[in-house]
Amino acid sequence: MTEQIEIAGRKLPIRRTLGAMKQFDDEFKNEISVFEFETKPKRMEHIVALLDYIVQAGFKADEKPCDVDREWLMDNIEFDEFEAIIQKIFPPAKKQKKT
């Protein structure tokens, strides 16, 4: 089962896979890596690209054809939803209990 993110009233599956991260890193290899998101400036296109890759991975995991693309995402993400989407892509790290 995949997580979901809601955009323009549609619930899209998302899955944060190594494959999605590699696709992102390959596309932006001269600019930024997924692992540098916390420390390097990022542009809106970086976030939308990563979202695109994790949505594609979600559809693939659910064994359904992906019927959204990057342009659809950019056309349907409202500006005031953008921060919530970033939080969904990068949820806060879970703290491990010390034993």
* pLDDT value at residue 98: 62
Measured between its terminal Cα atoms, the distance across the chain in Å is 31
In three-state secondary structure terms, 93 is coil
Question: What pLDDT does 37 receive?
Answer: 82
Instruction: Report in angstroms the alpha-carbon separations of 17 from 4, 22, 67.
Output: 14, 9, 19
Provide the pLDDT for residue 46: 92
Residue 30's Cβ-count burial label (10 Å; 0-12, 13-18, 19+) is exposed
pLDDT bracket for residue 93 (50, 70, 90): low
What's the whole-number average pLDDT of the chain? 89
CA distances from 52 to 5, 39, 94 (A): 12, 22, 24
